[in-house]
């Protein structure tokens, strides 16, 4: 298989893989509110600073981070019940409060510009709710490929979800760029051998090739320049 050669000028940007929560849609806020509700009910301290560590990591790993502040140990069975409760709260938000209006600023013009330039686009998300979210925001059939929490054994920072998305696109990792809002996601992109555009909470991460507060201010040509 052809390898991306970004460092030598032979590589080319052929695909962009987008994280979903916090990159395409503002569901990251609903993840936070659902975890906060669970923590409050359980009498476990939780705040937005701790929540930052949950970005990009799986539901059970997120719960493990939340339980670091618990005053007692929880059995594996109790943990499954807690994770299901959190997901129930989160699903209520998805069912009642998420629509295409929650697509983040700059996302649709960026996606359209990629498509117009012949750059393939994919979703690479840790979330098992990814198909529901894409449906809620009207983008189910919009991407060339998707890979999500239902397809993988290892969550970010492991590169599995991005490598799977690239494989499904038929594009070598060295010719893919990832867009991420999570520290774990930037690490996953780098581990996959992909360049990363860090946005939102991840902007400024030194491992990212490019950072921006939001996709609103990024032109895909600037990303292409990273591969020349
Ligand atoms: C990621 C979120 O996209 O999905 C994490 O950034 C979340 O915060 C993870 O824990 C898993 O999501 P879900 O929907 O499968 O519980
Ligand atoms: Mg994210």
Given 79, 97, 115, the domain boundary residue is: 97
Task: Outline where DSSP puts E strands in 2-155.
Answer: 15-18, 120-124, 145-147
- Measured from the CB, is residue 27 less than 6 Å from ligand 1? no
**pLDDT tens profile 170-224:** 999 999 999 999 999 999 999 999 999 999 999 999 999 999 999 999 988 889 9
Is 219 found in the same domain as 111?
Answer: yes
Q: In the predicted model, what is the mean pLDDT of residues 155-178?
A: 98
Going by alpha carbons, the residue nearest to atom 14 of ligand 1 is 127
Give every strand in the sheet of 195-199, ordered side by side.
145-147, 120-124, 15-18, 176-180, 195-199, 210-212
Is 108 found in the same domain as 40?
Answer: no
| Cα–Cα distance measured from residue 30 to residue 58, given in angstroms and rounded to the nearest whole number | 15
- Residue 87 CA, closest ligand 1 atom number: 16
% the chain with pLDDT above 70? 96
- Residue 126 CA, closest ligand 1 atom number: 4
Q: What's the CA-to-centroid distance between 133 and ligand 1, angstroms? A: 11
Q: What's the CA-to-centroid distance between 181 and ligand 2, angstroms? A: 5
Structural domains in the chain (count): 2
| Cα–Cα distance measured from residue 31 to residue 34, given in angstroms and rounded to the nearest whole number | 5
Given 97, 112, 144, the domain boundary residue is: 97
CATH for 88: 1.10.150.240
> What's the pTM?
0.93
Is 198 found in the same domain as 181?
Answer: yes
- Taking CA 183 as the corner, what is the angle to CA 181 and CA 187, rounded to the nearest 5 degrees? 110
Model confidence at 134, pLDDT cuts 50, 70, 90, reads very high
Q: What's the CA-to-centroid distance between 12 and ligand 2, angstroms? A: 25
Q: What contacts 22, CB < 8 A, 6 or more positions away?
A: 28, 55, 181, 182, 200, 201
CATH for 129: 3.40.50.1000
- Residue 86 CA, closest ligand 1 atom number: 16
**pLDDT tens profile 78-112:** 999 999 999 999 999 999 999 999 999 999 999 99
Q: Which domain holds residue 202?
A: 3-26+103-225
Is 117 found in the same domain as 79?
Answer: no
Is 212 found in the same domain as 125?
Answer: yes
Is 111 found in the same domain as 55?
Answer: no
Is 121 found in the same domain as 83?
Answer: no
Is 17 found in the same domain as 59?
Answer: no
- Smallest Cα–Cα separation from 218: which of 194, 198, 202, 201? 198
Both structure tokens of 139: 């983008």
Going by alpha carbons, the residue nearest to atom 11 of ligand 1 is 127
Given 73, 97, 121, the domain boundary residue is: 97
């Amino acid at each position: 298989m052809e390898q991306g050669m970004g460092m030598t000028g032979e590589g080319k940007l052929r695909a962009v893989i987008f994280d979903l929560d916090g990159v395409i849609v503002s569901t990251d806020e609903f993840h936070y509110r659902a975890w906060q509700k669970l923590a409050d009910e359980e009498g476990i301290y939780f705040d937005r600073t701790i929540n930052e560590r949950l970005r990009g990591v799986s539901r059970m790993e997120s719960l493990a981070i939340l339980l670091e502040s618990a005053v007692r140990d929880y059995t594996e069975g109790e943990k499954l019940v807690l994770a299901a409760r959190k997901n129930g709260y989160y699903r209520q938000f998805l069912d009642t409060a998420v629509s295409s209006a929650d697509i983040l600023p700059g996302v649709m013009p960026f996606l359209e510009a990629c498509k117009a330039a012949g750059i393939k686009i994919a979703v690479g998300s840790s979330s098992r709710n990814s198909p529901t979210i894409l449906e809620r925001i009207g983008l189910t059939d919009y991407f060339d490929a998707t890979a999500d929490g239902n397809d993988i054994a290892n969550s970010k920072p492991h590169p599995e979800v991005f490598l799977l998305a690239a494989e499904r696109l038929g594009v070598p990792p060295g010719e893919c760029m990832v867009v991420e809002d999570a520290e774990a996601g930037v690490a996953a992109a780098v581990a996959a051998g992909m360049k990363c555009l860090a946005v939102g909470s991840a902007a400024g991460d030194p491992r990212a090739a490019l950072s921006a507060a939001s996709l609103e201010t990024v032109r895909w040509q600037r990303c292409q320049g990273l591969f020349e």
